[in-house]
C-alpha cells in the first residue's frame, strides 16, 4: 500500500471525531438563563396542624437547555440562595436561616439538577432530578406546566416561562426541628409543598 493511501486512513479517526463534534454542537439545545428578577421559589408548610405558612426564596439562578419546541430537550441546572428566605416575619426568617432549619451560613445554596423528562400530555411534563439541601441530595420529580411560547420583551430579549410544583419531606434533608403539642400533634408539619415560577432569557 502506498503512502498516499495510508495517510487518509491514518487521519480517519481524527476526521470522524471532528464530524461528531460538529454534529453535537449543531444539535445542542439553546441555553436560557434564569431571570432571578422574575423568578420565585415558594414553599408552604403546616403550622399547628391547622394552617399553612407560606414563604419564598427570592434569588433563583441557573440555566435551562431547551430547543424551543420539544420538552424532552429540557435540562435544568438551578441554584436557590437560602439566605433570601422570606415569610414576612423577621424573627421567623432569622430562625429559618439558622442551624435549626437551613443553616444558611454553612449551606448558603440549594441546587437542583435535572436528569430526565417524561411527557404528561400537552403543555405538561415531569422533570426528575437531584435536589440538594444542607449537603444532602435526594431525587425529586417536579410537575411542570409549560414551557410557554417564546416572546420578546420591549428590549429585544427572547423569553420563556414555566411553573412547577412538588412535595418533599423536610426530614429527608435533615431539617428536623419541631415542638410537640399537648394534643399529640406537632407545631410544624413534615411535608413541604414547593412551587416554582421561572422566567428565562435566551442566551445570546
Is residue 193 included in any domain, yes or no? Answer: yes
For 12, residues 6+ apart whose C-beta sits below 8 A from its C-beta are none
Strands (E), the chain: 31-34, 40-47, 51-57, 60-65, 75-81, 85-86, 109-119, 124-133, 136-145, 151-152, 158-169, 188-202
Given a cut of 60, is residue 15 above it in pLDDT?
A: no
Cα 40 to Cα 131: distance, rounded to the nearest angstrom: 16
Cα 158 to Cα 150: distance, rounded to the nearest angstrom: 6
Given a cut of 70, is residue 95 above it in pLDDT?
A: yes
pLDDT at 87 (0 to 100): 97
- Mean pLDDT, residues 51-73 taken together: 94
Confidence band, pLDDT 50/70/90 cuts, at residue 108: very high
Cα 80 to Cα 131: distance, rounded to the nearest angstrom: 11
Is residue 7 included in any domain, yes or no? Answer: no
Q: How far apart are the first and last CA of the chain?
A: 50
Is residue 155 included in any domain, yes or no? Answer: yes
Given a cut of 50, is residue 23 above it in pLDDT?
A: no
Given a cut of 80, is residue 2 above it in pLDDT?
A: no
How far, in Å, are 91, 102, 153 from residue 94 at the CA level? 5, 10, 37
Confidence band, pLDDT 50/70/90 cuts, at residue 21: very low
Is residue 25 included in any domain, yes or no? Answer: no
pLDDT at 22 (0 to 100): 42
CATH number at residue 54: 2.40.128.110
Domain count, the chain: 1
- Mean pLDDT, residues 179-201 taken together: 95
pLDDT at 16 (0 to 100): 55
Cell numbers placing 162? 414555566
How far, in Å, are 86, 158, 163 from residue 123 at the CA level? 30, 19, 11
Is residue 17 included in any domain, yes or no? Answer: no
Of the listed ranges 26-40, 61-75, 99-113, 139-153, the least confidently predicted one is 26-40
Q: Looking at the DSSP assignment, which residues form a beta bridge with residue 52? A: 46
Is residue 132 included in any domain, yes or no? Answer: yes
Cell numbers placing 171? 426530614
Is residue 176 included in any domain, yes or no? Answer: yes
pLDDT at 183 (0 to 100): 83
Q: Which residues form the domain of 70?
A: 30-202
Is residue 2 included in any domain, yes or no? Answer: no
- Mean pLDDT, residues 133-160 taken together: 96
Residue 84 φ then ψ, to 5°: -95, 10
- Mean pLDDT, residues 37-57 taken together: 96
Amino acid at each position: 500500500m502506498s503512502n498516499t493511501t495510508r495517510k487518509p486512513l491514518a487521519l480517519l479517526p481524527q476526521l470522524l471525531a471532528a464530524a461528531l463534534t460538529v454534529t453535537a454542537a449543531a444539535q445542542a439545545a439553546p441555553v436560557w438563563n434564569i431571570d432571578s428578577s422574575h423568578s420565585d421559589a415558594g414553599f408552604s408548610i403546616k403550622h399547628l396542624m391547622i394552617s399553612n405558612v407560606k414563604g419564598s426564596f427570592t434569588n433563583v439562578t441557573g440555566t435551562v437547555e431547551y430547543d424551543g419546541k420539544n420538552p424532552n430537550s429540557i435540562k435544568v441546572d438551578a441554584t436557590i440562595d437560602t439566605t433570601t428566605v422570606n415569610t414576612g416575619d423577621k424573627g421567623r426568617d432569622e430562625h429559618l436561616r439558622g442551624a435549626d432549619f437551613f443553616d444558611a451560613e454553612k449551606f448558603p445554596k440549594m441546587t437542583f439538577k435535572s436528569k430526565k423528562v417524561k411527557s404528561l400530555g400537552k403543555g405538561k411534563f415531569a422533570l426528575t432530578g437531584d435536589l440538594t439541601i444542607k449537603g444532602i441530595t435526594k431525587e425529586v420529580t417536579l410537575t411542570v406546566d409549560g414551557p410557554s411560547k417564546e416572546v420578546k420583551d420591549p428590549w429585544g430579549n427572547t423569553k420563556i416561562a414555566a411553573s412547577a410544583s412538588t412535595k418533599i419531606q423536610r426530614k429527608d434533608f435533615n431539617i428536623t426541628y419541631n415542638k410537640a403539642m399537648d394534643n399529640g400533634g406537632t407545631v410544624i408539619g413534615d411535608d413541604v409543598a414547593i412551587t416554582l415560577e421561572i422566567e428565562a432569557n435566551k442566551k445570546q
